[in-house]
Structure 1
Amino acid sequence: MSDPSGTGPVDRYRVVPAAYLVLLREGAGGEEVLLQLRSGTGYMDDHWACGAAGHVEAGESVLEAAVREAREELGLEVSPADLLPLTTLHRTGGTGRAIDERVDFFLACRRWDGEPALRETKASDLRWVPLDALDSLPGPVVPHERLVLAALAAGPVPPVMTFGFPQH
């Protein structure tokens, strides 16, 4: 039905959905976002990333994925009712392969149960960072996530954003 390269007839129209949980709180200097330092994943290691994120699994809604990722990665209990749509990011790696076509759902959350803590080996640090101070981190932020976080810091975030496509 499709070839293993991901370019066959069935995979030709496949996109990979992911849920990104943007945990926010009021800090002493304004709004802060929880970031984790990626480590040992093989993708964007040593880059700062949203507190919890991951692929939407088969049969799972994007809201269920965000709740699951919060529990697995941070030990937090989040109610789907507390997830607020932030933006949808359509991005490409520019290779033309189906696996490089992504749709990322960014969901803001300001209420949860528990204290955030690293629960997986895919991150080596976790910290609250003022939204307007991403440049103060001791390392880069994953580029497509930085785009969304910078838009959030600047004001209203567009409901749909793109990344990696040629600008028109």
Structure 2
Amino acid sequence: MKMRACLVILKNQREILLIRRKKGENEYWVFPGGGVEAGETATEAAVREAQEELSLDISPGPVLFELTNLGRKEIYFLVKKYSGTIALGSGPERKRQNQTNMYEFHWIAQEAVQDINLKPSVAVLKLLQCELSKWR
């Protein structure tokens, strides 16, 4: 089964960094992250994806939750330690970015995730079920 490393990047114990995607007429939100490549651990993929998508250096924390989505295992890492300035990195997203395929970074209040079109939707429920102690 293919795997994907997802990042739950937390700021001030209250806000989560999400990517607002606009593809044609579709608009939705996603967690930063991407596929685990051959010979790579999920943790290594999380670090690489943070650099490629966000231009951030991160220290992944504990796994908050895992789920299966579209036939692949998604591993969600809590990230509280990061450095750099958030900007579209050197990954494939930069090449795909245009007027009809956009990537925008936003800090969203933890309690507001249930009010946006966050994909996969099952991640919203999992996120809200996380123990608050893991967020501090």
Q: What TM-score comes out, normalization by structure 2 length?
A: 0.77
Paired with 2:129 and 2:36, the residues of 1 have a C-alpha distance of: 28
Unaligned runs of 5+ residues in structure 2 are none
CA drift of 1:60 comes to 0.7
**Counterpart in the other structure of 1:152:** 127
Moved over 6 A (4+): none
Q: 1:141 aligns with which of 118, 122, 128?
A: 118
Partner residue of 1:90? Answer: 68
In 1: Cα distance, 2:130 partner to 2:33 partner: 23
- Counterpart selection for 1:35 from 18, 27, 46: 18
Residue 78 (structure 1) shift: 1.3
Structure 1's 85 and 101: CA in aligned 2 closer, same or farther, altered over 3 A?
A: same
Corresponding residue for residue 29 of structure 2: 48
Measure, in 2, the Cα distance between the counterparts of 1:23 and 1:49.
Answer: 12
- Aligned equivalent of 2:109: 130
SS of structure 2 residue aligned to 1:84: strand
Q: 1:59 to 1:34 in 2, by over 3 A?
A: same
| Higher Rg | 1
Shift of 1:135: 4.8
Give the structure 1 partner of residue 51 of structure 2: 71
How many Å separate the matches in 1 of 2:76 and 2:106? 19
CA distance in 2 between partners of 1:148 and 1:59 (Å): 26
- Relative to structure 1, is the Cα distance of residues 37 and 104 closer, same or farther in structure 2, using a 3 angstrom cutoff? same
- 8 Å CA contact 2:55, 2:86 repeated in 1: yes
Task: Answer yes or no: is the 8 Å Cα contact 1:63–1:83 preserved in 2.
Answer: no
Whichever structure has more strand as a proportion of its residues is: 2
SS of the residue aligned with 1:68?
Answer: helix
Aligned CA RMSD, in angstroms, stands at 2.3
Residue 63 of structure 2 contacts residue 77 of structure 2 at CA under 8 Å; is this kept in 1?
Answer: yes
Report the residue type matching 1:78 in the other structure: I
How high is the sequence identity, in percent, across the aligned residues?
30
